[in-house]
């Protein structure tokens, strides 16, 4: 078992530390107040700033960027961190846009991170769809990440990325049986597209996890922006009304504070 430190910085941004590695997911460090254009007439305003300033971060070995084209996953201050990271892993299309040595991965593709004195870290891109069927040409490519390394006892650490619940995501979860899940929620909606959702609700997530046995589920990407329609209170209410046998071990990360979990 490996003790892994998780520090939730805000939105989807989490600092993950173990075995000498420091990984950062979807860096967002802009202050609140700005409205970001997401394309096709959609936009959202950032409501809450980061719990830790970019200047206070330790040196980052790798940035795991689920997608580069939405401001709630990569903003201006987050983009400024990319050149200083040891590696940047993202979608194939995102790597072409970013340049600068970013490595693009397609779902199912792997990349190994090596460093003296640290366990070899295998990063596998996992499927994600950031909206309803046939929306990918509009919403763009997104991936999640499954992390494995020697000494894990509970299965991969899975970062779902911004995705709805769909067949390919379910197939991955059933095949790989993740032990710890960094779960992007928020039930994102926009006035322009009415009831259509672009990330999972809690009920979607419970359906995705049905039949699995993760040891820890860590919700992220549910507060701090206008386009989130299900915040922590909404998530907790749904969990409270879910039969005990299907709730799964959800655990809340306190922004700015590290929580250590055995993985």
Chain segment 175-201, per-residue pLDDT in tens = 999 999 999 999 999 998 889 999 999
Give pTM, 2 decimals: 0.96
pLDDT score, position 242:
81
Q: What is the pLDDT of residues 202-236, one digit of tens each?
A: 999 999 999 898 999 999 999 999 999 999 999 99
Least Cα distance to 63 among 81, 45, 39, 43 occurs for 81
pLDDT score, position 246:
62
Tell me: pLDDT of 20 over 60. Answer: yes
What pairing do the DSSP bridges indicate for beta strands 157-159 and 180-184? parallel
CATH of domain 3-254: 3.60.15.10
How far apart (Å, rounded) are the C-alpha atoms in residues 100 and 201? Answer: 35
Tell me: pLDDT of 245 over 60. Answer: no
HEC-encoded secondary structure of the chain = CCEEEEEEEECCEEEEEECCEEEEECCCCCCCCCEEEEECCEEEEECCCCCCCHHHCCCCCEEECCCCCCCCCCCHHHHCCHHHCCEEEEEHHHHHHHCCCCEEECCCCEEEECCCCCCCEEEEEECCCCCCCCCHHHHCCCCEEEEECCCCCCCCEEECCCCCCCHHHHHHHHHHCCCEEEEECCCCCCHHHCCCCCCCCHHHHHHHHCCCCCCEEEEECCCCECCCCCCHHHHHHHHHCCCHHHCCCECCCCCCCEEEEEC
pLDDT score, position 148:
97
Q: Within 10 A of 133 (CB to CB), how many other CB atoms are there?
A: 8
Tell me: pLDDT of 243 over 80. Answer: no
Q: What is the pLDDT of residues 127-139, one digit of tens each?
A: 999 999 988 888 9
pLDDT score, position 57:
98
Every domain of the chain and the residues it spans: 3-254
pLDDT score, position 244:
62
pLDDT score, position 44:
95
Q: What is the pLDDT of residues 114-163, one digit of tens each?
A: 999 999 999 999 999 999 998 888 899 999 999 999 989 889 999 999 99
Query: 159, 145 in Cβ contact below 8 A?
Result: yes
pLDDT averaged over the chain?
A: 95
Mean pLDDT of 45-73: 97
Q: Quick one: tokens of 234?
A: 């909404």
pLDDT score, position 207:
93
Mean pLDDT of 69-90: 97
């Amino acid at each position: 078992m490996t003790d892994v430190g998780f520090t939730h910085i805000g939105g989807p941004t989490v600092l993950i530390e173990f075995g000498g590695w420091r990984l950062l997911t979807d860096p967002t460090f802009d202050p609140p107040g700005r409205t970001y254009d997401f394309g096709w007439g959609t936009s959202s305003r950032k409501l809450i700033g980061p719990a830790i300033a970019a200047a206070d971060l330790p040196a980052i070995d790798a940035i795991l960027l689920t997608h580069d084209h939405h401001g709630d996953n990569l903003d201006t201050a987050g983009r400024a961190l990319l050149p200083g990271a040891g590696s940047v892993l993202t979608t194939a299309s995102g790597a072409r846009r970013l340049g600068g040595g970013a490595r693009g991965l397609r779902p199912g593709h792997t990349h190994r991170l090596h460093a003296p004195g640290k366990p070899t870290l295998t990063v596998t891109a996992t499927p994600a769809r950031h909206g309803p069927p046939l929306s990918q040409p509009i919403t763009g490519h997104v991936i999640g990440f499954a992390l494995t390394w020697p000494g894990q006892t509970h299965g991969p650490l899975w970062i779902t990325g911004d995705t709805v619940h769909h067949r390919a995501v379910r197939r991955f979860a059933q095949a790989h049986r993740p032990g710890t899940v960094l779960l992007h929620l928020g039930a994102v909606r926009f006035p322009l597209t009415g009831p259509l959702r672009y990330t999972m609700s809690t009920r979607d997530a419970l359906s995705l996890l049905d039949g699995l046995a993760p040891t820890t589920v860590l919700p992220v990407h549910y507060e701090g922006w206008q386009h989130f329609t299900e915040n922590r209170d909404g998530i907790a209410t749904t969990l409270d009304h879910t039969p005990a046998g299907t709730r799964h071990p959800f655990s809340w990360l306190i922004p700015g504070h590290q929580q250590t979990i055995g993985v």
